[in-house]
Amino acid sequence: MNLNLSADEVLTTTRSVRKRLDFDRPVERSVILECIDIAQQAPTGSNRQGWQWMVIEDAEKKAAVAELYRKNFDWYASQPGAEYGQDDVRSLRQDRVRTSAGHLAENFHRAPYLVIPMIEGRMGPETVSFMQASVWGSILPAVWSFMLALRERSLGSAWTTLHLPDEEATAELLGIPFDTYTQAGLFPVAYTKGTDFKLASRLPASQLTHWDTWGNRDA
């Protein structure tokens, strides 16, 4: 079901959805393909269009990838969390974020689909920053467009990366040519329980924007 949201509405209400993913409702393959078609309209460096998309539906493969994610999540969750000022809006939601992330880790395998977007090429530790920016700039707009397209169609997802310490194992499991394609994330995709997502609490632009010189916030 298309929600007929305005551009501003879809941009400001596309959330990382975890607890509100409906793991029991089937998702049509045609909807996934429709969202990928939209994603591939995103800008890409030199118009290379080096995207590939792995969509995992097989229950055993989903379980295996989810286990790799869960292993790394357990380590990540044991690390100290980020600290912000007492009145910082980011502090107010940390407990909820941790709880919802734990829920997703426990239920990752239940999503109707897991989606892994990929970009052609592989960066080594010697890759200079401008080349890294070019590579990521050629896949991340498409991935965000994919999430926006899901939102418009009453679906949701969460942009996760915790399977990537085991990227090569994931590639072997799924037959991805590891030497020539870089995985950009792992996305559980499902219809959402309700569609009434609202704006999130964010720092205002005036606190984050510098005019001509660092620290100059006078608009």
* 161: number of Cβ within 10 Å: 14
| Position 93 pLDDT exceeds 80 | no
Q: Is residue 218 part of a domain?
A: no
pLDDT at position 90 is 57
pLDDT at position 143 is 97
- Comparing 35 with 95, the larger pLDDT belongs to 35
Q: Is residue 199 part of a domain?
A: yes
Q: Is residue 1 part of a domain?
A: no
Q: Is residue 85 part of a domain?
A: no
Q: How far is CA 58 from CA 28, 38, 115, in A?
A: 14, 24, 12
Q: Kindly indicate the confidence band of residue 147, based on its pLDDT and cuts at 50, 70 and 90.
A: very high
Q: Is residue 101 part of a domain?
A: yes
Range of the domain at 21: 7-78+90-208
Give the mean model confidence (pLDDT) for residues 87-110.
Answer: 79
- Comparing 100 with 55, the larger pLDDT belongs to 55
Q: Is residue 219 part of a domain?
A: no
| Position 42 pLDDT exceeds 80 | yes
The mean-pLDDT minimum among 56-60, 87-91, 105-109, 150-154 falls in 87-91
Query: What CATH number should be reported for the domain holding residue 198?
Result: 3.40.109.10
pTM: 0.91
Q: Kindly indicate the confidence band of residue 49, based on its pLDDT and cuts at 50, 70 and 90.
A: confident
The mean predicted confidence, pLDDT, of the chain is 92
Task: Give the list of residues 6+ apart from residue 217 with CB closer than 8 angstroms, or none.
Answer: 206, 207, 209, 210, 211
| DSSP code, position 90 | T
Q: Is residue 216 part of a domain?
A: no
pLDDT at position 80 is 72
pLDDT tens digits, one per residue of 172-214: 999 999 999 999 999 999 999 999 999 988 889 998 999 999 9
Q: Is residue 217 part of a domain?
A: no
pLDDT tens digits, one per residue of 111-128: 999 999 999 999 888 989
Task: Give the list of residues 6+ apart from residue 211 with CB closer than 8 angstroms, or none.
Answer: 217, 218, 219
Looking at the 3D structure of the chain, how many domains does it have? 1
